[in-house]
Structure 1
Amino acid sequence: MTGTAISTATAAWADALLASFAQAGYERAEPAILQPAEPFLDLSGEDIRKSLYLTTDASGEELCLRPDLTIPVARDYLASQRAGEPAGFSYLGRVFRYRGGRPSEFLQAGIESFGRQDRAAADAEILAVALEATAAFGMREVEIRTGDVALFNALIDALDLYPVWRRRLIKDFNRKVSLEQDLERLTLATGATRNEYEGVLAALAGSDRKAALALVTDLMSIAGTTNVGGRTVSEIADRFLEQSTLTSGALPHNALNLIKRFLAISGDPDEVVAQLRALAREAKLEITAAIDQLEARIGFMAARGIDVRSLRFSTSFGRGVDYYTGFEFEVHAKGNGSEPLVAGGRYDGLMTRLGSATPIPAVGFAVWVETLTRIGRGPVESRSARTS
């Protein structure tokens, strides 16, 4: 979609979406198009820079055209008098990012729910509203893929790994290629021949990160190391600390096997809960609270009229969004597995990273308007909360 004009057909789709959101109780939000670039770079890393349309204001602050609407809606909520209180917002507007051969300006719609402490019920509502939105376009034959990064985080915590491995695995969970590379690297390192530095490296891996970083930085300074390739001594030390401890063969073999067994679990949600409880009992893993949260969410979904047996839950499912902290999902048209119609999840850690003094629960989704308008059958008047 290029230019500023919206076709009559697209306008009809937009009206149907907004009506669906309003009916569910989500008020319209319209954040500014021009946004500070720092939150996007901080949350997604410098890799996103090549996709942003950047400029600088007179004070030197780096700004960008909004590449999505979740962060702008969250920032406006935090700046309002309602910050910290339960509130739900819907949106439909243009976003801007380079996509290599596809239009860089396109429509994004969605909803965001902030401040609700009843997380399982809020997750279920978000999925129900997403299904209502697709049903409003005649898309009733859909595939629903779900996962939960909180389960993976609970597993990693229960395994009591060295801090450097915990950080790396949790960071890479949503990046399938990186996680597969990590596990392959772990497999090789676990069986590798011990080397003369292994004791030192293992000690660094198991130590307090700040203390270890200070030690390596001091040693490099004593050795006369200065800036290399534009990186400071501190940055070089941080990279050395991570890379050296990652290759020190410090991960117990049983932990690696448990991670792989965990990531192989999939099926309908009830089957997954049973498999997870069996694994937790057998391996004596303290992940009961995360499993209980999953089971509660399933119950609320069923109460919403969602056929939970039609859901596909996978412990390895991730969406490539660093700030997700729990429930994640995608809704696809049957037979069109590569392009989601709707995608979203829980991101409880985002608000503090955006400046909130206290954690604020948050969950939401975005609608791929381009895909819906291309695949959908057109807006329909009847809407149902039950979609299978």
Structure 2
Amino acid sequence: MPLTAAPTAATTAPAAWADALLLSFAQAGYARAEPSILQPAEPFLDLSGEDMRKSLYLTTDAGGEELCLRPDLTIPVARDYLASPRAGKPAGFSYLGAVFRHRGNRPSEFLQAGIESFGRQDRAAADAEMLALALEATAAFGVTEVEIRTGDVALFNVLIEALNLYPVWRRRLIKDFNRKIDLAQDIEQLTLATGPGHNEYEGVLAALAGSDRKAALALVTDLMSIAGATNVGGRTVAEIADRFLEQSTLKAGALPRDAIGIIKRFLSISGTPDTALAKLRALATDAGLELTAAIDQFESRIGFMAGRGIDLRKTRFSTSFGRGLDYYTGFEFELHGKGGGLEPLVAGGRYDGLMTQLGAATPIPAVGFAVWVEALIQIDRAPNAAASGNKS
């Protein structure tokens, strides 16, 4: 049976907006989910990295399993779905509950609401529905003027595959994109780092040039086995293999100039979705790249967004937009208050790869979003606070 938390000032939802929010989710067909507050820590650490550890409230059970208070609700809702008889079938869930993270001077316990949709094969329609419901969520708080920022990591991934780069370059570029690193600057720095120069591991680097990750891992494993070592400086065999593979590719100067130009042109595309669509098709034609399926999916999503009443003229799409999380696989979006701000009011996207990482035997389509209740309440209170200040 799910654990429940005692109500606190941070978790007691004002009835008016909570009722409106949950009603809008229920009317859209999303059943209320209430996953346990206490969760296995491993999935959060595996998906977000060990850096996440410092943000978690951790404990250990009698069997030695590391547990944590849930830091968000996407993974707990997904785990409950996978453990249910509905796993693999289309199902949608909504939620409103407390999550727990160390956040410096801000409260560590705060509310999160949202929706997760699993198993739908009509991806473009499901993506558009998530954005439409996210806009309804902000409206439940009385916030109707928002900035809509969107992107699609699938377009970048398909572009990188079409360029036929060495595997290490593909992994590095996709990893840097997911971590919101400035790729244009990163590419220039890495290109300058290639070329002649002495390295004490010249023989190893020459042997690895052009290899894939599996071959690199096998070679480094053999070399370290001969040396009787299992790690160096705290790095695992896999991490060392990746580093050698990256150095070997840089040594060979393996990122062609024409590929750099195409990537930079791709990353410069932004504007309304319709404008971006035209620029993407032009790029694919000019560069002779087969990107048709991914661009068609993008166009289909635009059509469903328009059908949902989303004003495309007020929607910004950027090919360089990303949410900084590895598990997103396609459409991504954020809603910001007018005037911007670093933190979004609502954020989400498509994460088709997450379900297999959580144990699903076969891939299951998944898309959803989280509502940052704290930020929306602050916006809702701001005009009232200003009015009160004017009266004093």
Q: Same fold (TM over 0.5)?
A: yes
CA distance in 2, matches of 1:373, 1:134: 10
User: Please, which of 286, 311, 321 is the counterpart of residue 307 of structure 1?
Assistant: 311
Q: Are 1:339 and 2:343 counterparts?
A: yes
Gaps of 5+ in 1: 379-388
Q: Quick one: which of 178, 181, 187 aligns to 2:191?
A: 187
- What value does the CA root-mean-square deviation take over the aligned residues? 2.3
Report the CA distance between 1:224 and its aligned residue: 5.2
Q: Which secondary structure state, in structure 2, belongs to the residue aligned with residue 247 of structure 1?
A: helix
Give the secondary-structure state (helix, strand or coil) at the position aligned to 2:328: coil
Instruction: With the length of structure 1 as denominator, give the TM-score of the two structures.
Output: 0.90
TM-superposed CA distance for 1:326, in Å, is: 0.2
Alignment counterpart, residue 244 of structure 2, candidates 241, 244, 249: 241
The whole-number CA distance in structure 1 between the counterparts of 2:209 and 2:185 is 19
Is the CA contact (8 Å cut-off) linking 1:10 and 1:373 kept in structure 2?
A: no
Letter in 2 for 1:326: G
Q: Which deviates more, 217-226 or 367-376?
A: 217-226
Q: Judging changes above 3 Å, is the alpha-carbon distance between structure 1 residues 229 and 207 closer, same or farther for their aligned structure 2 residues?
A: closer
Residues 161, 329 of structure 1: alpha-carbon distance in 2 compared, 3 angstrom cutoff: same
Contact 2:11 2:111 in 1 (8 A): no
Change (3 A) 1:332 1:289: same
Identity %: 78
Task: Kindly provide the amino acid, as one letter, of the partner of residue 25 in structure 1.
Answer: G
**Counterpart AA for 1:193:** P
Match of 1:27 in 2: 31
- The answer to whether the aligner puts 1:206 opposite 2:210 as a matched pair is yes
1:41 to 42, 45, 50: 45
Cα distance between partner residues in 2 of 1:376 and 1:205: 57
In the other structure, the counterpart of 1:115 is: 119
Q: Work out which structure has the larger RCO, using CA pairs closer than 8 Å and 6 or more positions apart in sequence.
A: 1
Which residue identity is paired with 1:332? H
Does the Cα contact within 8 Å between 1:29 and 1:73 map onto a contact in 2? yes
**Gap regions ≥5 residues in structure 2:** 1-5, 383-392
Matched position secondary structure for 1:107: strand
Task: Please list, as runs of the form range in 1=range in 2, the aligned pairs for 1:143-182 lying within 5 A after superposition.
Answer: 143-177=147-181, 179=183, 182=186
In structure 2, relative to structure 1, the CA distance for the partners of 1:377 and 1:104 (3 Å cut) is closer
Per-residue deviation, 1:336: 3.2
Matched, 1:370 2:354: no
C-alpha deviation, 1:177, in angstroms: 2.9
Deviates more, 1:169-178 or 1:141-150: 169-178
Instruction: State the match for 1:386 in structure 2.
Output: none
For residues 243-272 of structure 1, the C-alpha deviation after alignment (integer angstroms, 9 at most, x for no partner) is: 423532211111112111111110000110
TM-score with structure 2 setting the length: 0.89
1:33-60, Cα deviation, whole Å (9 max, x unpaired)? 0101111111111111111111111111
Alignment match, 1:137? 141
- Aligned residue number for residue 353 of structure 2: 349
* Partner Cα distance (1:347, 1:226) in 2: 34
Per-residue deviation, 1:308: 1.1
List aligned pairs for 1:178-327, cutoff 5 A: 179=183, 182-189=186-193, 192-193=195-196, 201=205, 204-223=208-227, 225=229, 227-232=231-236, 234-235=237-238, 237-245=240-248, 247-248=250-251, 249-327=253-331
For these two proteins, the number of residue pairs brought into alignment is 375
1:193 positional shift:
3.2
Deviation of residue 290 (structure 1)?
0.7
More divergent stretch after superposition (352-361 vs 197-206)? 197-206
Say if 2:331 and 2:349, in contact at 8 Å, map to a contact too: yes
1:297-351 CA distance string (max 9 Å, x none): 0000001111112110000000111100000000111113323111100000000
- Relative distance call for 1:348 and 1:235 in structure 2 (3 A) is closer
Residues of 2 paired with 1:273 and 1:203: CA distance? 42
Question: How far apart in 1 are the matches of 2:52 and 2:183?
Answer: 19
- Cα deviation 1:152-177 (Å, max 9, x = unaligned): 00011001111111112112212223
**CA–CA separation in structure 2 for the residues paired with 1:336 and 1:229:** 42
Cα 1:226/1:144, change in 2 over 3 Å:
closer
Aligned to 2:61: 57
1:117-170 deviation digits (Å, cap 9, x = unpaired)? 000000001111111111222211111000000000001100111111111211
Query: 2: CA distance between counterparts of 1:182 and 1:32?
Result: 41
Q: 1:152 to 1:199 in 2, by over 3 A?
A: farther
Check the 8 A contact 2:184/2:264 in 1, yes or no: no
